[in-house]
Structure 1
Amino acid sequence: MEQLIQQIKKKQSLLCVGLDTDRNKIPPHLLKEEDPLFAFNKAIIEATHSFTVAYKPNTAFYEAHGEAGWRALKKTIDYLNTHHPDIFTIADAKRGDIGNTSTMYAKAFFEEMAFDSVTVAPYMGRDSVEPFLAFEHKYAILLALTSNEGASDFQTQKLTEEELYKKVLQTSLTWRNSDRLMYVVGATKAEFLKEIRKIVPHQFLLVPGVGAQGGSLEDVCQYGLNDRYGLLINSSRGIIYASQGEDFAEVAREKAQELQREMEKLLSTVKVK
């Protein structure tokens, strides 16, 4: 975690770039490449890494292509770990199952793929999450309060006087190695961040939903920053698909830099321990 904090401090950025690489949306000229998904990812990474502290491939976009997709994902994480080892990596896989199954998922992403973290669904409780927390220097990012419309079906429903997402946060702190937990909190739920920070004041929050989904960067920073930064703010479509032309990487760089500059202004008031 210290490495991530140093990256944020050095780059004055909270930016996480989501590599939700859709073969149908990448520039057409890349389809001639032997591995179009990896070719796209490599170009995006090289264009944006100066402003980025984390990358988050959504594994569904690779799994959909079977063996070829998994190869592209493996090549992407290997490229990051070789050329930009200080940048934090997130497997956005949203796994969650019990016992040995969770252990196998954890081995897949932490040992075989060498990601730093993986997103995990908490619905099945302690024994579905603790296997991910057993790996030293690795992190499970728990889905707490997501940005999608259906989040209100369960997450903000009250159990007596308390919303379910608060119960998830409170309970997760009792689990073994809970210091290796991070949490997903959607930017479109920024008004909830004040309450969330009362429960998990020290943990990092992964915040999707800024930009294309309408979340406010300023609000997220106002309510979510802590004295060790404590935020990773994800942008996917707004950066990686900013252009469909041969200039896609250059335009992605410009969009990433724009966000980084906004973040730098907001970070100027933070006193970090």
Structure 2
Amino acid sequence: MNDNFGLEYHLVHSCNLKCAGCSHYSSLLDELTFISKEQIESEMNLLRVRTNNGDSLRWLRLLGGEPLLHPNLTDCLNIIRNIFPKTRITLITNGINLNKMSNTFYKVCKCNDIEISVTDYGLIDLNNIIHQIKSKGVKIDIYQTCRDWYFQNIRLTEEINDCFNQCYHRKMCINYKEEKIFLCPQMAYIDIFNHTFSTDIVVNENEYIDLNKVSTYNELMRILTSLHPDFCSIYCNCTSPNGNPEKNGKRYTTKKDIKEFCKL
């Protein structure tokens, strides 16, 4: 059984950064696209039931997209903390809007023990942001540094190359979306990619977990540890030994060219 089970969850699908090659495909969305409070509450309540009343969900990362864009963010944070009082909850942000957030937002983070974690793209004064947020009594750290960037995480070629064994996503970036658990964001949000580029990549029912079709946490863990999606062999392009795509370089704003996201 996994004693450190945790998930990532989009509060917002879209983003104020439009990064070419984004593995969540957030940069392909032109309109602000977010999850309603009602849907969040419903999905979190189902997750609580399937994780021993929430006791077995050790951590939850709230992200996107850019979660600070959610119009009802403080309500969402209150809802999620109320459902998961013991889970470590982290809000992952690019930090661009942190100086614009209200005092109420920071009070909610502090009262609910929600940590803010900034992904460093080199676009903000990080030291100043850290100082300001710590002064409000809110926990903050740096999630990762993204000065370099990976492209083409999807493959539409005839080659078969199973990326499963070297994949870090299936251990660190398991995504919860619409009452389903996916081993990686590429599978969870492939619908955005498909819609943008008129492709028809399919993630079959045996490649994810539908929480409505499992009854217990033990069953959830059994299925989770046995998943080996065909997607990993047919479509995933994270073929390098470190579990990333081979194409990398400096981050730039997307031109919505399929070659930024996909090897053809």
Q: TM-score, normalised by structure 2?
A: 0.43
Q: Is the helix fraction higher in 1 or 2?
A: 1
Which gives a bigger RCO, structure 1 or 2 (Cα 8 Å, sep 6+)?
A: 2
